[in-house]
Amino acid sequence: MYVGNLILLIINLPLIPWIARTLAIPENLLAPLILFFCLVGVYLVSFNTFDLWMLVGLSIICLAMRLLDYPMAPLLLGFVLGKLMEENLRRALLVNDGSFSFLWERPMTACLMALALACLIAPWAMARWRRRRQASKPLQA
C-alpha cells in the first residue's frame, strides 16, 4: 500500500496542471459529458436498460430536491445507512409477523415517525412560507 501511494504521488504530481485545467471547461460542455459517462458506466455494469431508467428517475428526483433546497447531508447519511435500516426493518417485521403496526403502537416510535415526517416536509413548508411572506410585504419607495 505504501509503495502504491508512492507511485501515485510520483505519477500525479506532474499531472496536476492538466487536472486543474478541467476546472476551465465550460459547464454547458461538462454537464453532457458527465451525463454521458454516467449512462455508459451504469449500462456497462449490468447491460440492463432498467438500470438506465432508474438512473434517470433518481436524477430527476434529486434535481427536484435540489431545486426545493433539501439539504444534501441528511440524504447522503440516509443513503449510507439505508442498508442497515432496511435489515433492521426486516428483522422487526419478522418479529411482528409482517405487520407494520409496531411503527405507531408505541409512543416512542410514533414520535420518531412524526419527527421524520416533519423533517421531510420542513424545507418545502419553509420555502412556501418565505414566498408568501415576501409577497405580502408592501413595496417600499
Indicate whether 5 belongs to any domain. yes
Rg of the chain taking only CA atoms, in angstroms = 23
- Average pLDDT rounded to a whole number, residues 102-116: 85
Write down the pLDDT at residue 88: 87
Locate cell 412524526: which residue?
Answer: 114
Residues 62 and 105 in one domain: no
Write down the pLDDT at residue 139: 63
Indicate whether 92 belongs to any domain. no
Indicate whether 6 belongs to any domain. yes
The whole-chain average pLDDT of the chain stands at: 87
Number of structural domains, the chain? 2
Domain membership of residue 128 as a residue range: 98-135
Q: What share of the chain has pLDDT > 70, as a percent?
A: 97
Locate cell 455508459: which residue?
Answer: 40
Residues 49 and 106 in one domain: no
pTM of the predicted protein model = 0.47
- Average pLDDT rounded to a whole number, residues 22-34: 89
DSSP 8-state code for residue 98: T
Task: Enumerate residues 6+ apart whose C-beta is below 8 A from 38.
Answer: 55
- Average pLDDT rounded to a whole number, residues 42-51: 91
Q: How crowded is the C-beta side of 12, counted as CA atoms within 13 Å?
A: 7
Indicate whether 31 belongs to any domain. yes
H-type helices in 22-106, by residue range?
27-46, 49-67, 72-95, 102-105
Rounded Cα gap, residues 78 and 103, in angstroms: 19
Last residue of a domain, one of 18, 44, 67: 67
Residues 8 and 62 in one domain: yes
Q: How crowded is the C-beta side of 37, counted as CA atoms within 13 Å?
A: 5
The more confident residue out of 57 and 78 is 57
- Opening angle at CA 108, ends 72 and 70, nearest 5: 15
* pLDDT surpasses 60 at 141: no
For residue 24, give Cα distances in angstroms to 13, 20, 28, 116: 19, 8, 12, 41
